[in-house]
Amino acid sequence: MPDNKTPIVLVAALLLVAATTACAQAQPDDDLARRALSAAEIGLPAPTPALRNDHPLQGWIEFARLRRDIDTLPAAQAQAFVARQAGQPVELAFREAWLASLAKRDDWTGFRAAWSPRISSTALRCHELEARAQTGAVDAKWTSEVQALWRGAAKSLPDACDTPIAALERSGGLAPALRWERIDKAIAAGQPGVVRAAARGFSGDERTLAETYAAYLDKADDRALQWPKTARSRLVASHGLARLAKADPGAAEALLPRVAQALAFGDAERNRVLYDIALWTVASYDPGATRRLATVPEAAYDERLHEWRVREAMARTDWRAALAAIARMGDTQRKDSRWSYFAARLRELTGDRAGAQPLYAAAARAPEFHGFLAADRGKLPYALCPLEHASTPAAKAAVAADPSLRRAMALYRVERGAWAEREWRAALARFNDDQRRLAVEVAQDNGWFDRGVFGLVNAGGERKPDELRLYALRFPLHHDALIRAESARNNLDPAWVAAEIRAESVFNPKARSGANARGLMQVLPETAAGVAARLGLPWSGAESLYDPATNIRIGTAYLREMKDKYALPYVAIAAYNAGPTPTARWQAQRPGMDADFWIETITYKETRDYVARVLAFSVIYDWRLDGKAVAVSDRMHGRSGGARKPFACPAA
């Protein structure tokens, strides 16, 4: 990123944002509420002074206390809590825990009394079916529900489902045809374990055949040559060969002709295997990718394979082939800003500059990475049409006063995120579009910044297209003084650091990934310890990464190390996401390739999209902070001396 001093206007903008967010987050009784919840969860008396009786979290504190002793909780006490909290998210959370306890105790009468059709857990639904069976309520409806459960599951069901399914089998409701129906679904889903489990109800030749099919999904070989020429044999063989292609495309390619002939494959079976042979060859840029892509009929191509055909040609710098591959895409995919940009770029490289310009102009209308690249090439301003969400203090206060939203905010502030999500969903189910947007503002006032990314959806999970233009909500600014100070310390662009935080954690200091990356910049503890040791920074262990100051200091220092090591920011961004080993491989495979093509031919989709996302976010944060931006074409190379790009909303 640009190695320039922080501009005065940027400092002013950051200080302004700091002033407007400094009063956010903690409320006077948050610490007491946190301590009351913790005490309830471990069975200690409530702390003093007592939390006020009308505090929004009193119901959740009582839930925490009851849940701790739920296996010995008297039914009357449970029923009283459910009655007091009827219709609230805490009531459903308690009911789920209470039902699980009743099932564990085999209290099936109590279970049925406590059941609610609002329960969505598959395990609890299976317990409810068992409860009906145990209390003599097996009827045609029960049979139909268990059969639907069995029929609809291509993957493994929870253990709780074993009992009602066994009861269905004993009653004669699990006929061989129904068993084969699930096996067929499991075959198509690549689930050999489910095939084996379903086959246990067979005997003799049927069980042997089903287990043979399961074994073939695990390891495809020439056993299929002896199978009967049935539709199911073709289904198993084609899916088995497709699974083999993922690990060893060459082995699948060698086996396919013999199996296809022996079982009389049709186009669907043959194309299924050819598709995966080509996909897993080209995704690694292995030799033979061009030939294998050519064996897949055009009718079998989908958007994924179309993209890989373009990337494979790009990796070979065969610009005409890449352009031809884009031309074969469907109309919607071809007009996406990514492929409009590359079609223009490839036209330029093949001598058609005039044909490139309209494509650049079309791509430049999109406010994302490839749109910004297209604007640079076409010498156009960056397209940005911010949507101002007009709100009044009274309207915002009315939304903030919603009981579920009050509880959601209080729960988030005391670090009970899963419970906060329940209350958030309950509030949004009642809100219209304007109220949803105000709710996001309220959430961000309380430090819950990711609502601008995950909260701008209605109760049905749909997002209004215009809401993508709510940039102030979607690109929050917080911890800006820390970002500014550590960026200056490491001679990095603050917009880049803010973009990394937005991409990594959406400004959640308590974020933790499945790989144990922690905090705002999602730093691994072992990485942090190494950076701290190399630079002599204070380090007090993994938990310190949840402290924003520690995380930003170490994360920014590590980003600087990446920039120093790789020189080019776009390569440093790839390494920050994927690590040094794959990054070194990509550099070795395509040395000297132009940045846009190098990014597009990154093997990992996650990293390919991550690099583009961080670069685009950097532009938007530059706009938020300064009104103009370093051109993305300069930014990804670390150049800062060029004219800053203006922003404009293109005509409709």
- Quote the DSSP letter at residue 604: -
Region of poorest pLDDT, from 295-299, 306-310, 386-390, 627-631: 386-390
CATH hierarchy code of domain 480-648: 1.10.530.10
Q: Which residues contact 139 (CB under 8 A, 6 or more apart)?
A: none
What pLDDT does residue 8 have?
A: 32
Region of poorest pLDDT, from 15-19, 85-89, 119-123, 619-623: 15-19
What pLDDT does residue 461 have?
A: 65
375-426 tens-digit pLDDT: 999 999 999 999 887 789 999 999 999 999 999 999 999 999 999 999 999 9
* Distance separating alpha carbons of residues 264 and 234, to the nearest angstrom: 8
* Distance separating alpha carbons of residues 557 and 482, to the nearest angstrom: 13
HEC readout, 528-582: HHHHHHHHCCCCCCHHHHHCHHHHHHHHHHHHHHHHHHHCCHHHHHHHHHHCHHH
629-643 tens-digit pLDDT: 999 999 999 998 888
End-to-end CA distance of the chain: 33
Q: Kindly indicate the confidence band of residue 626, based on its pLDDT and cuts at 50, 70 and 90.
A: confident
Cis peptide before 49 (omega within 30 of 0): yes
* Distance separating alpha carbons of residues 444 and 473, to the nearest angstrom: 8
Whether pLDDT at 431 is above 60: yes
What's CA 443's distance to the chain center, in Å? 21
Which alpha helices (H) appear in 364-493, and where do they start and end? 369-377, 393-400, 403-413, 417-428, 433-445, 451-454, 471-474, 480-489
* Distance separating alpha carbons of residues 81 and 614, to the nearest angstrom: 47
Percent of the chain with pLDDT over 70: 95
Three-class SS state of 85: coil
What pLDDT does residue 191 have?
A: 96
* Distance separating alpha carbons of residues 32 and 390, to the nearest angstrom: 35
Name the region of 97 (left: φ>0; alpha: ψ -120 to 50; beta: rest).
Answer: alpha
How deeply is 591 buried, as exposed, middle or buried, from its count of CB atoms within 10 A (0-12, 13-18, 19+)? exposed
Domain ranges of the chain: 30-134, 393-469, 480-648
